[in-house]
Amino acid sequence: MSEPSNSAPLGLLDHHHHHPHHHPPPPPSSPSSSSPALARDYRKGNWTLHETLILITAKRLDDERRAGGGSSSSGAAAPRSAEQRWKWVENYCWKNGCLRSQNQCNDKWDNLLRDYKKVRDYEARATASTAAAAGGGPSYWAMERHERKERNLPTNLAAEVFEALTDVLSRRAARRGGAGAAAAATPVSRALPPPPPPPHALTPPPQPQTLAATPPPPPRPPLPAQPSVSAEMTETSESSENEGVEPEAKRRRLRQLGSSMVRSATVLARTLLACEEKREQRHREMVDLEERRLRMEEERTEMRRQGFAGLISAVNNLSGAIHALVSDHRNGDARST
């Protein structure tokens, strides 16, 4: 990956959110306390790249705010519960043009982490195979969409999003590594004896102290280079914190969704049944109308047949009368001669 592509997402994030990085936004109290009657019109549909980068920036600032909230003595401490933290993320996204709800942000963040871990693990395996001359697969960024799908990898993870997530998880790992190193260094410093008071004896003690202090620094460099383990531990702890609030809300949403689906299915079944009944009734009416038309045709045909029979009978009677008249006329002429 080229150097401009590595710095593009981080530069975009710093360009858009330079001020919030130095001055974290206030706690999420504006939408719920100041204007409770104002309902937000959340955006639906797929996330854009700009919205995704805003969400990642919000999570980075939330991590920094939470990391500095424990040592701060002011009253504006970082919210403890997962719901309050995601509400803070929602408010930050709204201030920067990402009109998404806290549930949408939570779901999107989980999806991003899942896709990120898949791509990160694949790239690590591909790099190891290439280094071992085992002919590993191509890089994720050089594959087409169908090739990514065949390898069960996310098909639309942008390089900017991947680099921004790497930056966030590396910062988390660095903070956790620094806290662990400080906690491990505290008992060592307490166990060291105080330096002797005479001034001439101050020079010898620094030598054993420097010798004893030199071993701890070597383990520190690998910590930023291994964000995967620390990031997974962070996400595991965060997911365990979310288990106290999110499952109940999700179960409640699932119950509401299930009841609404049952009601919709009942209404749909009743509507279909009524349509079938009306269709059958209309079919019966059409059959009755057709039978009535056929009966009328039969009656009309019978009347015509009877009319023709009467006409034929009348013509026969008329011809018989004419024949009788002609015969009588001939008989009268014969007598007169």
Question: What is the CA angle 314-319-323, rounded to 5?
Answer: 150
Tens digits of per-residue pLDDT, 21-66?
A: 444 444 444 444 334 446 888 999 999 999 999 999 999 999 998 8
Tens digits of per-residue pLDDT, 130-143?
A: 777 666 678 899 99
CB-based contact 46:84 (threshold 8 Å): no
- Flag whether 287 is in a domain: yes
In terms of domains, do 236 and 277 share one?
Answer: no
Question: pTM, whole model, 2 decimals?
Answer: 0.45
Tens digits of per-residue pLDDT, 99-119?
A: 999 999 999 999 999 999 999
In terms of domains, do 59 and 93 share one?
Answer: yes
What number is the average pLDDT over the span 178-189?
49
Query: Would you place residue 180 in the very low, low, confident or very high pLDDT band (cuts 50, 70, 90)?
Result: low
State the pLDDT at residue 221: 41
**What's the Cα-to-Cα distance from 208 to each of 40, 105, 193, 201, rounded to whole Å?**
64, 53, 11, 13
* Least confidently predicted of 32-41, 117-126, 172-181: 32-41
In terms of domains, do 35 and 125 share one?
Answer: yes
In terms of domains, do 262 and 154 share one?
Answer: no
In terms of domains, do 158 and 255 share one?
Answer: no
In terms of domains, do 234 and 300 share one?
Answer: no
- Flag whether 201 is in a domain: no
In terms of domains, do 112 and 155 share one?
Answer: yes
State the pLDDT at residue 67: 83
> Domain containing 145: what range?
3-69+79-178+226-244
What average pLDDT is seen over the chain? 74
**Count: domains in the chain:** 2
DSSP 157: -
- Flag whether 8 is in a domain: yes
- Flag whether 104 is in a domain: yes
pLDDT: which is higher, 188 or 135: 135
State the pLDDT at residue 136: 66
pLDDT: which is higher, 301 or 191: 301
What number is the average pLDDT over the span 206-213?
41
State the pLDDT at residue 272: 94
Closest residue by Cα to residue 28 from 93, 73, 74: 93
Choosing from 194, 211, 244, the residue where a domain stops is 244
Whether residue 193 has pLDDT greater than 50: no
In terms of domains, do 174 and 287 share one?
Answer: no
- Flag whether 119 is in a domain: yes
In terms of domains, do 139 and 266 share one?
Answer: no
Choosing from 215, 244, 273, the residue where a domain stops is 244
Whether residue 213 has pLDDT greater than 50: no
In terms of domains, do 123 and 232 share one?
Answer: yes
Cα diameter, the chain:
196
Residue 17 main-chain phi, psi, to 5 deg:
-130, 40
Strands (E), the chain: none
In terms of domains, do 234 and 303 share one?
Answer: no
Query: Would you place residue 69 in the very low, low, confident or very high pLDDT band (cuts 50, 70, 90)?
Result: low
pLDDT: which is higher, 148 or 130: 148
> What is the spatial distance between Cα 13 and Cα 118, in angstroms, rounded to a whole number?
23
In terms of domains, do 289 and 309 share one?
Answer: yes
- Flag whether 152 is in a domain: yes
CB-based contact 65:21 (threshold 8 Å): no
Using the structure block, give the residue that is written with the tokens 């620390």.
230
* Least confidently predicted of 151-165, 223-237, 245-259, 267-281: 223-237
State the pLDDT at residue 100: 94
State the pLDDT at residue 191: 39
- Flag whether 215 is in a domain: no
> What is the spatial distance between Cα 257 and Cα 263, in angstroms, rounded to a whole number?
10
Whether residue 157 has pLDDT greater than 70: yes
Tens digits of per-residue pLDDT, 215-255?
A: 444 444 444 444 444 445 455 445 544 545 567 778 888 88
- Flag whether 202 is in a domain: no
CB-based contact 123:263 (threshold 8 Å): no
